[in-house]
Amino acid sequence: MKWCGPLPAAGAVLVAVVACAGASSSEAPNRNAVIGEREDMRSVAGRFDGYMLITHCTTGLAGAAIAVVAGGETPFEFLAAPDSEALQERFRARVAETLRGIDVRATGFGAACHGGEPAFLVTLRDWHEVDRVVEKLTEWVARESLRGEIVVYVAADPTVL
């Protein structure tokens, strides 16, 4: 599942994740439920070389998000033309390559946790994968001196009604 549309108009809010985080697999028998708990994440908030990590983002799911705020010189390419589907898809492909081998459940574009520009959104359902995602993303943004924000949500897969 992925969201592939253009960014919403300025001032609009995109809700990319519709499920609630925090339930462990033992609390919810649903095979699409969140696996693990926030305490399974070991990444620590702070400012580091080339990025800042926010581990309790208040955007979206009431603290179920982690934000990688890249502080380099080169803005994420989709920020140059937020309505460009080509730039969005090229950026999505770069993130997919960076996170190859990780069970990413959804991606999209929407509200940032820190700052006013749009962010790239990544949704996982396993708290055990958060540290690996943070490690891969922070290595990539620091190595390429990128600037922008990636918000990582941990949430159950949406249920089709």
Is 113 a domain residue?
yes
pLDDT digits (tens, 9 = 90+) for 61-81: 545 789 999 999 999 999 999
Is 142 a domain residue?
yes
Task: Provide the sign of the torsion angle of the four alpha carbons 15, 104, 3, 18, taken in this order.
Answer: negative
Residue 136 φ/ψ region, left for φ over 0, alpha for ψ in the -120 to 50 degree band, beta for the rest? alpha
Is 21 a domain residue?
no
What is the spatial distance between Cα 146 and Cα 73, in angstroms, rounded to a whole number? 6
Is 160 a domain residue?
no
| 151 has a pLDDT exceeding 80 | yes
* Residue span of the structural domain in which 56 resides: 38-154
Q: What is the pLDDT of residue 59?
A: 65
- 3-state DSSP assignment of residue 56: strand
Tokens standing for residue 122 = 């990544």
Which residues, including other chains, have CB under 8 Å from residue 61's CB and lie 6 or more apart? 17, 20, 21, 153, 155
Is 65 a domain residue?
yes
Is 122 a domain residue?
yes
- Count of the separate structural domains present in the chain: 1
pLDDT digits (tens, 9 = 90+) for 122-144: 999 999 999 999 999 999 999 99
Query: Cβ(66)–Cβ(158) under 8 Å?
Result: no
C-alpha torsion angle, residues 157, 136, 131, 134 (rounded to 10): -80
pTM as predicted: 0.78
Tokens standing for residue 25 = 């697999």
Is 1 a domain residue?
no
Q: What is the pLDDT of residue 79?
A: 94
Cβ atoms within 10 Å of 27's Cβ, excluding its own:
11
Q: Taking residues 117-122, what's their average pLDDT? A: 92
Tokens standing for residue 63 = 């603290």
